[in-house]
Amino acid sequence: MKQFSDLSKIIHREGYIFIIGFAIVTFIVSSFSGVLGLIGVIMTLWCAYFFRNPDRYTPIIDDAVISAADGVVQSIVEAVPPAELGLGSGEMLRISVFLNVFNVHVNRIPVDGKVIGLHYNPGKFINASLDKASIHNERQSILIQTHSGVKVACVQIAGLIARRIVCDLEDGEEVIAGGRFGIIRFGSRVDIYLPRKTIPLVCEGQICIGGETVLANLKQSGKVAAPKFEIR
């Protein structure tokens, strides 16, 4: 059991079936063609690389909002959050991070708090880099209330070739910023919705590291203390 647990810290469990499948196919085709065998080896290694599950050094800062995903900040706009979360029709600050197929796809909790809402919404699989993906694509919406009472939404959005969203959270669960909570397979996007007046600490085009990059601070005033870090 411990060996399995240790392995899951290197490769996410969602990747096991794909890696084994690629390895079996590679073994079979290599007996017919060395070229196909080489291609199979490359694909198997890429699959293992895609499902990698590294530890991260999460800054311990009160009211910090941590990036839920690796990738590029695609947009920072004011937008209405998903209706299923019951946050009303008012606009919130939305920070969207786009993941390509070479990014780590394990998702991270953005804030300390309690899960007060979970909703899966089936939908399309259009390019996640398009703004309309927030509305039309398959998604998993998560609502977290911080210990100070602020509501923060995190939305996992499927992409053009993404076909599975995994969310391991349960309603009522206490969560810690930077902790792992799920994965989106093969290209995707994660949106974070914050109170409208929140000042972002990242800019469009910036590269984020899930579990490490601070997207914003929910504290509206005052100095932020130098952070400590924990491996998560």
pLDDT value for 229:
62
Check 67, 96, 134, 188 and give the catalytic one.
188
pLDDT (tens digit per residue) in 22-73: 888 888 888 888 888 888 888 888 878 878 888 999 998 889 999 999 999 9
Predicted TM-score (pTM) of the model is 0.82
Put the strands of the sheet holding 106-108 in their side by side order.
Answer: 106-108, 180-184, 165-167
Residue 221 reports pLDDT greater than 60: no
pLDDT value for 124:
64
User: Strands 165-167 and 174-175, how do they pair?
Assistant: unpaired
Positive or negative: CA dihedral 188, 162, 29, 25: positive
| Distance, CA of 131 to CA of 47 (rounded, Å) | 28
Consecutive H or E run containing 215 = strand 214-217
What are the residue ranges spanned by the domains of the chain? 2-50, 57-231
Asked if 213 contacts 62 with a C-beta cutoff of 8 angstroms, the reply is no
Residue 159 reports pLDDT greater than 80: no
Residue 207 reports pLDDT greater than 60: yes
Asked if 184 contacts 226 with a C-beta cutoff of 8 angstroms, the reply is no
Cα end-to-end distance, the chain, whole Å = 20
Q: Measured between alpha carbons, how far is residue 224 from residues 19, 61, 211 in Å? A: 43, 8, 18
pLDDT value for 231:
73
pLDDT (tens digit per residue) in 164-180: 788 999 999 999 999 99
Please name which of 44, 45, 54 lies closest in space to residue 11, comparing C-alpha atoms.
54
DSSP state of 69: S
79 three-state secondary structure: strand
221 is catalytic: no
Asked if 66 contacts 41 with a C-beta cutoff of 8 angstroms, the reply is no
Looking at every residue in the chain, the average pLDDT score rounds to 84
pLDDT (tens digit per residue) in 94-123: 999 998 888 888 999 999 999 999 999 886
pLDDT value for 224:
47
CATH 2.70.70 is the classification of domain 57-231: yes
- Least confidently predicted of 76-80, 98-102, 104-108, 156-160: 156-160
